[in-house]
């Protein structure tokens, strides 16, 4: 029954053992003061290395790119050393791992970025959006975001250079590739969506202009590490962090076609996954499939049955299971053998220590306990 999920697949120059993806999930366990990946994170990812592909948690490309407390960076030598521990542990278990690179833009607070004002496509505050800061306790302290300043051309050039350096850093730290986070209301998404981009220069207004920043970032990173080591995450119908597009189907089919021209390894579509979320229609998914010839990954509350159906229909090539991977380090084995899934503790998702990170047992361990 689950054969569709366990057929090998080519991803760039890589051959993946199965079609099951562990997607990026912020866990906020980086070591301070330098926001460095650590042994605890290495153990966490190594436990889950039976996924066909692991995409690491959102990793900031610069100090100004950080949105939340305790998230890891990939711009200093200490941070690269930390990530090398992670990739070494994953590879020791025959896993394959991409780094997710992000710049959050306006989705932050000055306390997380050294007291500076955030930057964005436009000087528009994200309404009803909170981020968490380190307020001196071990629990995240949530605060409202602030109004960003509109990026200048110099700012744009700087961020493109930071993404490019971060991509090279990721490869040097042992990652098999990188995923550009262009979803969920973060910086690149702030350029793409019409309601968060009110620019009047070549990066704003019409759709071609709103996709220009994405285009330039991908071009620069592909020149540095090769397009076959690059994936991109998009979220066409997600309104997380206040980004909304007036015509998402037109916008995101165009984005898929643009990325197809770059010959990137994969496109990762995050479907809106809250209870009353808008549903991506089959026609929308088919239009993306027709626009993009590479590997297509979908994420968003997938059951095994829905995952198999998506792959067998040809709409998707791989399926990402997010929170199920938190409490089920052996999720592919549980899927293959029809074993029940454990539930995660939502109180331990962000911040803290090994509790709720590396202490979830495999099915065999839970059975023998």
> Average pLDDT for residues 73-85, to the nearest whole number?
98
Model confidence at 369, in pLDDT bands (50, 70, 90)? Answer: low
| CA-based radius of gyration for the chain | 19
For 188, the domain range is 3-368
Q: Is the peptide bond before 175 cis (omega within 30 degrees of 0)?
A: no
> 231-254, pLDDT tens digit by residue?
999 999 988 888 999 999 999 999
Closest CA to 61 of 29, 24, 102: 102
At 140 the pLDDT is 66
Residue 137 has pLDDT above 80, yes or no: no
CATH number at residue 207: 3.20.20.70
Q: How far is CA 332 from the centre of its chain?
A: 20
Question: Do the strands 9-11 and 14-16 form a parallel or antiparallel pair, or are they unpaired?
Answer: antiparallel
Q: Are 43 and 7 in contact (CB under 8 A)?
A: no
Other C-beta atoms within 10 Å of 335: how many?
22
Please give the share of the chain, as a percent, with pLDDT higher than 90: 89
Supply the mean pLDDT for the chain.
95
Closest CA to 216 of 153, 124, 293: 153
Tokens 């990173």, located at residue:
221
Residues tagged active-site: 186
Residue 368 has pLDDT above 70, yes or no: no
Phi, psi dihedral angles at 51 (to 5 degrees): -60, 145
Tokens 């436009």, located at residue:
122
Model confidence at 278, in pLDDT bands (50, 70, 90)? Answer: confident
Instruction: Say what the pTM is.
Output: 0.96
Q: Which residues have a Cβ under 8 Å from the Cβ of 292 and sit 6 or more positions away?
A: 256, 257, 259, 260, 267
Question: How many domains is the chain partitioned into structurally?
Answer: 1
> 98-115, pLDDT tens digit by residue?
999 999 999 999 999 999
């Amino acid at each position: 029954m689950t054969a569709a999920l366990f057929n090998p697949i080519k991803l760039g120059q890589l051959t993946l053992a199965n079609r099951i993806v562990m997607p990026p999930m912020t866990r906020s366990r980086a070591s301070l003061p330098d926001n460095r990946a650590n042994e605890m994170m290495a153990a966490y990812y190594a436990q889950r290395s039976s996924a066909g592909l692991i995409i690491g948690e959102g990793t900031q490309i610069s100090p100004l790119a950080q949105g939340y407390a305790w998230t890891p960076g990939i711009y200093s030598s200490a941070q690269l050393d930390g990530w090398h521990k992670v990739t070494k542990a994953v590879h020791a278990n025959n896993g394959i791992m991409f780094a997710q690179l992000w710049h959050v833009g306006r989705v932050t607070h000055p306390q997380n970025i050294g007291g500076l004002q955030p930057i964005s496509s436009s000087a528009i505050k994200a309404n009803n959006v909170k981020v968490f800061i380190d307020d001196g306790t071990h629990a995240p302290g949530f605060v409202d975001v602030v109004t960003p300043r509109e990026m200048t051309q110099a700012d744009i050039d700087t961020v493109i250079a930071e993404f490019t350096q971060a991509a090279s850093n990721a490869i040097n730290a042992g990652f098999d590739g990188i995923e550009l986070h262009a979803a969920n209301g973060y910086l690149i998404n702030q350029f793409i969506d019409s309601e968060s981009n009110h620019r009047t220069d070549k990066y704003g207004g019409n759709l071609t202009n709103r996709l220009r920043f994405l285009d330039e970032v991908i071009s620069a990173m592909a020149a540095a590490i090769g397009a076959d080591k690059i994936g991109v995450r998009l979220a066409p119908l997600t309104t997380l962090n206040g980004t909304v597009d007036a015509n998402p189907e037109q916008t995101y089919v165009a984005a898929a076609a643009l990325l197809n021209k770059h010959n990137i390894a994969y496109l990762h579509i995050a479907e809106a996954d809250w209870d009353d979320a808008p549903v991506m229609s089959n026609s929308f998914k088919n239009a993306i499939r027709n626009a993009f010839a590479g590997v297509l990954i979908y994420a968003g509350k997938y059951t095994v049955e829905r995952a198999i159906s998506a792959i067998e229909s040809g709409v998707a090539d791989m399926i990402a299971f997010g929170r199920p991977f938190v409490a089920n380090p052996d999720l592919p084995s549980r899927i293959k053998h029809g074993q029940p899934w454990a539930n995660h503790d939502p109180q331990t998702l962000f911040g803290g220590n090994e509790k709720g990170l590396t202490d979830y047992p495999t099915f065999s361990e839970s059975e023998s306990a």
